[in-house]
Amino acid sequence: MFSVCMCDRYQAAPKESHFPAIKRFMKYLKGTINTGLWYSRDAAMSLIGYSDADFAGCKLDRKSTSGTCHSIGNSLVSWHSKKQACVALSTAEAEYIAAGVCCAQIL
């Protein structure tokens, strides 16, 4: 999903250099067409959230990318991946912003 979001950033002005990345994840999707998620009725109903961030992952503006996912029991119910609005000055700050986004999504 991260690759799709990265290519989506350049959707308004795509370049030929983006084509190999698009081709690569299209091949991946073609190979995983029979893969899916199973939601069991007997699963425990505990809400769990995970978050992560990369520090200054974008080479152009040095912004970090936050990623979160939320599950109820063993079932994924939502995910989120987005470039952060501000430039983090440390890895801890980037992770703190990602944790805030995760908590806001849970609420």
Measure the CA–CA gap between 59 and 44, rounded to whole angstroms: 42
Domain extent listing, the chain = 1-36, 37-107
Closest CA to 6 of 97, 67, 94, 68: 67
Look over the chain and give the mean of its residue pLDDT values, rounded to a whole number.
84
pTM > 0.75: no
Measure the CA–CA gap between 9 and 21, rounded to whole angstroms: 13
pLDDT at 57 over 70: yes
Over residues 72-100, the mean pLDDT reads 87
Measure the CA–CA gap between 36 and 33, rounded to whole angstroms: 8
